[in-house]
Structure 1
Amino acid sequence: MLDKTSPLWWIFAAASVALYLSVMFPGMVNTRQKVFVSCGPAATFIAAVLYSYVNKWPITDLLPLYCAINLALAAGVIGHWKALHEYMAERAEDPTKGDDGTATPWILQMAFTLPVFMGAAFWYMNNS
């Protein structure tokens, strides 16, 4: 099993961000949405750095969790690009409009993938 302090986790983190962005960008309708989506991995990384600083943990110990979050969100959209694109087009047209169910398929998939991937990351972090 790969040690959680391995420098390979930095490569995995970069790959997970690349996968996240490549999966999410096609669903975005305008530049504003793409900028917002691209801030997700950066905000998550800043949160991980702050958490590691406050708790005196090496950041490399949190990289498996960081990768899991990015991969889970990417996996939550796979197969639902059309629904995501329709949802984002509706939001670009009228941001105040309520949800009419177009978000349901990919939100449900994300609600499943996020705990599964994060659970696997926590298991890995505790057992390596």
Structure 2
Amino acid sequence: MAEGPGEVTITRYRAHFSGPTAGWLDLGWRALETVELAGPDVFEASFRTESGQTLLSRLHTPWASLMFALAAATAFPAHPRLLSGDWLPPDFEARCAALGHPVRPARHQLVAGQGH
């Protein structure tokens, strides 16, 4: 798969990446076999192609934590990183509060609200 800059659109159900040199990638959360935060701002997921081949994709984006949380909550609700709350960047809530945007403890909101 080609690498390069592009745009990512993230919804509750999928992420779509496209770029002038990278082509496109459509990741439906329920179609993923694995999902992980591979590093700061790095979303990693594996999936099977229509021919049955397993592919691994890595997206370097500041939206990696959001993508992980949505994908894990949808397709892997027992994922250890999701359950532990380690999907947010360090000091996320404190940085939001310092910028004048206090938030409820976000690390556990997603897990607590899964039944709704």
Give the TM interval when normalised to the shorter protein: under 0.3
Larger radius of gyration: 1
Give the structure with the larger strand fraction: 2
TM-score (norm 1): 0.25
Greater RCO structure (CA 8 Å; 6+ sep): 1
